[in-house]
Amino acid sequence: MTKEALIAQKSPYATPVEAGKTYHWCACGRSKTQPFCDGSHQGTGFEPVAFTADKTDTAYLCGCKRTAAPPFCDGTHKQL
């Protein structure tokens, strides 16, 4: 079991989202379909974070997997 998520990238993913649609953000950093889960977390102890978009817009989803506000970027990547 991995203790810390892999860093997918050291910047957020600017991701178009649709109001009312549920998404599953990759928390482990292993997904090949970043920033979304593709099931690669199996056996790691990590689980994807489900969220429903409040509005149709661009969401800035964490790429470094260190955010304190998952799934959204909080700028933590600037300290890595």
Residue 80 lies in a domain: no
Q: What average pLDDT does the segment 27-38 reach?
A: 98
Between residues 2 and 10, which one has the greater pLDDT? Answer: 10
Residue 77 lies in a domain: no
CA 28-78-27 angle, to 5 degrees, is 10
Residue 12 lies in a domain: yes
Q: What average pLDDT does the segment 63-70 reach?
A: 98
In three-state secondary structure terms, 20 is: coil
Q: What average pLDDT does the segment 58-65 reach?
A: 98
| pTM of the complete model | 0.93
> CA–CA separation, 5 vs 20, rounded Å?
28
Number of independent structural domains in the chain: 1
How does residue 1 score in pLDDT terms, banded at 50, 70 and 90?
A: low
Percent of the chain whose predicted confidence (pLDDT) is above 70: 98
> CA–CA separation, 51 vs 14, rounded Å?
16
> CA–CA separation, 38 vs 33, rounded Å?
6
Does the pLDDT value for residue 2 go beyond 60?
no
